[in-house]
Homo-oligomer: A and B are copies of this chain.
């Protein structure tokens, strides 16, 4: 990290940046009211910090060892002082602001008609963002992989339904990019690109998605520590895209015997992410529990832990869903959930 003097000139700044590049690293410049910070992208061991400290305009040059420095609250010029979360704007929705944001929709996009019905229900219930899987990651190659896996035409059609639903019901739309080759097509149609849990460690996919320049919903792997999660989020930031929405969706249960839920929602992830980074964090209680009857409780808990929003699977007729039928709630249930969550958010934010 290199901190410039308050009165450093633009020329001095550019000179430092050029010197950094000569050492084989890239830079991430963050200009604040009182100082400019140059973050270093790459291995800082190649940087002669003593030499950099002596360059004109430099106030301080030192090694930062945390693997997620670009997204960290501690090394950020803009967010550090104010203790604030980055506000990510999508259409007129603000993720990371005072109000929680609700993402809802079916696990998989199955037909235009079903999608429109669900979108309408989600909108009426108070959700602002519509989600729906076109490319579905599945544990078995023999399971339904989403309409997108059937071919490019099917993918394009399903994506266009999502876009149309978003326009018709004034919602932002989001879907998952499961492989690098899908990024271009998906980015044409949706407002937020999702990287799913199973791809959390897939650094080439992260870079490809990041370069599309749209907000990225980034889900934690079910076996990843928080340090790993934040360190891999840094792959997105390193491409210059800091519109990263973190998402906790449950970790692998412990011990022998029945766990009663698909995953264990790790809600301490919420305050930890908010302290360690300036990024907003959401929670997905649907995949975490896999149980419709636990979604209300775990949504309330997530909100009380300080989450910036929720991602909930919803279906007008859960029994009909091709994927994850057992964890879908209906629009009226979603409405009650959103109403209670908004009240809890107010209560804990007063603190």
Q: Could you tell me which A residues sit within 8 Å of B by CB distance?
A: 40-44, 67, 69, 137-145, 178-182, 198-199, 201-205, 208, 221-228, 231-232, 234-235, 238, 251-262, 264-268, 270-272, 275-276, 288-289, 293-294, 296-298, 300-306, 336, 340, 343-344, 347-348, 350-351
Contact = CB atoms under 8 A, between A and B. Distances in A.
A223 to B, nearest CB: 3
Nearest to A254: B251
Contacts of A204: 178-182
20 contacts: A67-B142, A142-B238, A179-B203, A179-B204, A181-B181, A198-B201, A222-B223, A223-B223, A227-B257, A228-B256, A252-B254, A260-B272, A264-B264, A264-B266, A265-B266, A271-B293, A297-B306, A297-B348, A300-B305, A340-B347
Number of copies of this kind of chain in the complex: 4
Nearest to A138: B203
B271 A351 contact: no
B201 A137 contact: yes
A260 B230 CA distance: 12
Contacts of A179: 180, 202-205, 208
Nearest to A68: B140
Contacts of A276: 260
Kindly name the residue among A144, A268, A298 whose own CB sees the greatest number of chain B CB atoms within 10 A. A268
Nearest to A180: B180
Contacts of A42: 142
A145 B207 CA distance: 13
